[in-house]
Amino acid sequence: MATKSLEILIDEFNRLPGIGRKSATRLAFHILEMSETEIDRFALALKSAKEKVKRCSVCGNFSEEEVCSICRDEFREKDTICVVEDSRDIIPFEKTNRFKGKYHVLNGKLDPLNGITPDKLNLKKLLERVANNEISEVILALNPDLEGETTALYLTRLLKPFEVKISKIASGIPMGGNIEFADTATISKALEGRQEL
Ligand SMILES: [Zn+2]
């Protein structure tokens, strides 16, 4: 039988994505075995990550500065924007070393049934970037599932009036698969084989 405080701790771990009851219990018991110093370090890491990490005011990526390091990078191509759902999706693209443009993080994808309507996404800034800068291509790199496809279609219609080239990364990532976990070769191929919409 777990005590009340332990029960609360298990519940908190259980709330995290991918952590079931069993793993949550294991983690909570592990916490009890940690020293004061380790606990303080852990708690501080949680608090300072939450306090210091913000969204880049240009692209929506996580950053500790007002503008993230990718947006600030003078050597990157300014005229190509790769649109991703999540900050985590940037990592596999960066790993390929092939993409030299900039990114835009939507912070989700359209899912009206679950209340994710266009106003919930980081779309206004994307339109501003396309309208104000000399953007020649917008690459849509959304996950290959129903919501990703819906979002890509919506973006295509939204961006059409700007006379910008809109392309979509080639499939290769299986339907229902996840960009975040795709390997470098798959991402490189998907980027190279992108098709204009
Ligand atoms: Zn940025």
pLDDT at 145: 85
Using a 10 angstrom Cβ sphere, with 0-12 exposed, 13-18 middle and 19 or more buried, the burial of residue 52 is: exposed
Q: Specify the pLDDT at position 188.
A: 81
Residue 181: its pLDDT value, please?
77
CATH topology assigned to domain 73-196: Dna Topoisomerase Vi A Subunit; Chain: A, domain 2 (3.40.1360)
CA of 118 to the centre of ligand 1 (A): 20
Give pLDDT, residue 98: 86
Ligand 1 centroid – CA 13 distance (Å): 31
Residue 79 CA, ligand 1 centroid: distance in Å = 14
Ligand 1 center from residue 163 Cα (angstroms): 23
137 Cβ contact list (under 8 Å, min separation 6): 79, 80, 81, 101, 164, 165, 166, 167
CATH number listed for the domain at residues 4-52: 1.10.8.420
Residue ranges of the chain that CATH labels 1.10.8.420: 4-52
Q: Are strands 80-84 and 62-63 parallel, antiparallel or unpaired?
A: unpaired
189 CA from centroid of ligand 1 (Å) = 24
- Residues 104, 85: Cα–Cα separation, whole Å: 8
For ligand 1, the distance from its centroid to the CA atom of residue 36, given in whole angstroms, is 37
Low-confidence ranges of the chain (pLDDT < 70): 1, 171-176
> What spacing in Å lies between the alpha carbon of 39 and ligand 1's midpoint?
33
The pLDDT of residue 172: 63
* d(CA 133, ligand 1 centre) in Å: 14
> 54 C-alpha to center of ligand 1: Å?
11
Query: DSSP string covering 171-191, please?
Result: S-SPTT--GGG--HHHHHHHH
User: What is the reported pLDDT for 175?
Assistant: 61
Tell me whether strands 54-55 and 137-141 are parallel, antiparallel or unpaired: unpaired
Query: Of the candidates 94, 110, 108, 104, which has an alpha carbon nearest to the alpha carbon of residue 140?
Result: 104
For residues 52, 53, 59, 65, the Cα torsion angle rounded to the nearest 10 degrees is 30
Per-residue tokens: 9: 């701790």
Within the chain, all domains assigned CATH 3.40.1360.10 are found at 73-196
Query: What's the 172 CA to ligand 1 centre distance in angstroms?
Result: 27
User: 59 C-alpha vs ligand 1 centroid, how far in Å?
Assistant: 4
The pLDDT score that the predictor gives to residue 174 is 64
Cα(74) to ligand 1 centroid in Å equals: 12
Q: 152: closest CA among 138, 137, 164?
A: 138
